[in-house]
Amino acid sequence: MLPSPGPTASETSVALTDTLHDAHALTAAPVDGRAPVLATEARLDQPAAQVGRAELIATAHGVYEASINGVPATESVLNPGWTVYESRLQVQRFDVTEQVRAGGDDLQLSVLLGRGWWNGDFGFRDAEANYGEENALLGALEITFEDGSTQRLVTDESWSATSSPITHATIYQGQHEDRRLEAGAPQPVRVTEIDRATLIEQTSPLILRHESLRPERIWTSPSGKTVLDFGQNLVGWLRFTVTGPAGTEITLRHAEVLEHEELGTRPLRAAAATDRLILAGDPGGETFEPTLTFHGFRYAEITGWPGELTAENVEAVVVHSELARTGWFESSHAGVNQLISNSVWSQRGNFLAVPTDCPQRDERLGWTGDIAAYAATAAYQFDVNDFLHNWLLDVRAEIQLPPLSFVPFVVPDILKLRKNGSDPFADGEEPQEVPTAIWGDAAVWVAEALWNAYGDLDRLREHYPGMVLHLESVERALSPSGLWDQGFQFGDWLDPDAPPEAAADAKADKAVVATACLIRSARFAAETARLIGEGEDAERWQSLADRTLSAFTAEYVDEDGTIRSDCATVYSLAIAFDLLEPAIREKSAQRLAEVVREAGYKVSTGFAGTPFVTWALSETGHVEDAYRLLLEEGCPSWLYPVSMGATTIWERWDSMLPDGSINPGEMTSFNHYALGAVADWVYQVVLGIRAAEPGYRRIRIQPTPGPGIDWAKGAYDSVAGRIEVSWETSADGFALSVTVPDGIETEVVLPDGARHVVTGGHHTF
């Protein structure tokens, strides 16, 4: 884990500017569209054996892969990742001592430069959004010898450029290589600009290869294509070594699902997700690994392979940001176990540089609504402290970029750079001009999830300005009644009863959803202000929460507990956000249970209600209803995709229809974590691990058994230490085993209401 940042952003920029003061940003015009390789050579001032330490400091507009003496400078890929490039460009520091020593007294430094997120024609509906037309590299190699003397190589006019065999490489379309192409004579580089004021030290975890999978099955499809099934929907690329005649062209296509026994590529929309390799004919074999792109896939189609293709010939490489696994769950219910596995794999695939909506189609954007719904789950499954901290700094930076004054739909907001005339938004929607609930609330809710999980007050203080900017934007959007009932809202996005072509047409009244979300956000902002010593702000946000709650109650809540639009989502939010007086709360909880039963325990919520519906049921005594909702297998439900063979969370409850055909809507993904937010309830309620205080300074173990699950066990590696829970029910009653960190006071609440306080160690009840 990276330490909490010390210097301010401006101080960091000054430090990096000083480090790179004599370096120039370099670019090179691609020849025939080929990715350029920038290079320099030098003689070491002293013998290689006298090198004490060597460090590469670098960044790019685009993505870069640096090699020293032919050896990669780092195992990380897609550097420098994706941030709000206009104000935050990460600079990496890599220890390359061994690479420099191993090359002898002559030094060769080369850097492959790709388009990445900088100018990869990003965005859906022909947005083709780019930060700039040309890619650029800025860097320095600092060598310190045993006697303390130093030698520096910086990017400058002395470098040269050649062409790689990569003829095309973008994240959406894939990577194409023609190994027959020669590099050509070195050409001069051109000095360009990278704004030094944007430079920051690396704050987000690096992107790495994590594991590889061999195909579980290889077969010939009805159309005669060779198809591979890797058994798991994943994010990354294929890697192989092959021998064949010069000119042999191998084509790789990727998809998450099959339809009619062929690759189901329609959900990719405009993303080709296709890699190509033309062999040079090297008798020693040629290795292909397309590291300037990535794909979301379980299935791959390979054409042109010379000879017989076996499972030993190819592997799928799993790629995502470096995140330590922290949470585990297992139970007597195989379907729930698979649901949790699906959540874990969806997080892995979508936590790549930024928390994305999906990793496969022409999108892969940092949609704020998705992570707002999912942040608490994410913080249990993996250590996301650094990853989401960095993203929240991007949220704040994006709000502050003119002319924006609110949280955009996506962060980084590359859609604002879409080409003239393009409209990436759905039919009937206007480009964003006002803040939106849930999506905008990510500035608060993600910070809240990090605070609860890690208890880092310094980082909460850094996140607070983003909360303020969001709430101030909402204040400006409120109607005279004090309700958030005007302007565009996503609302309960992807309500299963909404038609495929109109995902925002939910049962829940959008104003009820938005106003409820504002109350939750204002309350946490008030709590944050109190924690960081901003007393006046605390009063301001608490007053906003109280005023809004009064307006909400008067306008939307009846004495009999009915809430406007009378559906599961509005009751779930009102209960989970504590918006109701006790007597009304009980009536609303009864009505929620009725609504859930009337739906036959099939899910009836979208993005807004799904994270909270089981909470609202179990916390008001309707535990059996919550369990039946979780364990339902009919469509729509959490376990319906599991019954259909899903290995990740789907975007829609019915992304694949029962007959095996793909949902006819234009927008569907088979790796989209938001609706997997129920996993947070599984961890905290079914398993029973809860933070009684932020950062698990105090712990509560409160498992809540229910029908359909006879035992559960799991663990969480909290910042306070490892927590383990195992329970089972039988004819003899309920048995619980817990292990908690030494010195941490833990309250154990048993299903019969009995409470015990223990401090550290292993305990059974």
Q: Tell me whether residue 651 is one of the annotated catalytic residues.
A: yes
Number of CB atoms found within 10 A of residue 726's CB: 18
Percent helix, strand and coil across the chain, each to the nearest 5: 30, 30, 45
Radius of gyration of the chain (CA): 27
Q: Where are the alpha helices (DSSP H) in 365-456?
A: 368-381, 385-400, 442-454
Dist CA 284 CA 9 (whole Å): 50
**321 within 8 A of 2, measured Cβ to Cβ:** no
Dist CA 683 CA 40 (whole Å): 53
Token readout for 749 is 């609440």
Catalytic residue, chosen from 177, 256, 286, 363, is: 363
CA angle 493, 677, 85 (to 5 degrees): 75
Token readout for 124 is 């859906």
As beta bridge partners, residue 314 has 240
Query: Which helix (H) or strand (E) covers residue 689, if one does?
Result: strand 689-691
Q: CA nearest 651: which of 449, 422, 439, 374?
A: 374
3-state DSSP assignment of residue 464:
helix
Catalytic residue, chosen from 65, 286, 651, 728, is: 651
3-state DSSP assignment of residue 362:
coil
Q: Quick one: DSSP state of residue 669?
A: -
Complete DSSP assignment for 525-555: HHHHHHHTT-HHHHHHHHHHHHHHHHHHHHH
Query: Which helix (H) or strand (E) covers residue 350, if one does?
Result: helix 334-350
Amino acid, single-letter form, for residue 573: L
Q: Tell me whether residue 398 is one of the annotated catalytic residues.
A: no
**Cα–Cα distance list, 127 to 115, 300, 384, 423, 665 (Å):** 16, 27, 30, 7, 20
Dist CA 110 CA 259 (whole Å): 44
3-state DSSP assignment of residue 376:
helix
Q: CA nearest 513: which of 543, 480, 484?
A: 484
In terms of DSSP bridges, do strands 174-178 and 274-278 run parallel, antiparallel, or are they unpaired? Answer: parallel
Q: Residue written as tokens 């072509």?
A: 501
Residues acting as catalytic residues: 363, 651
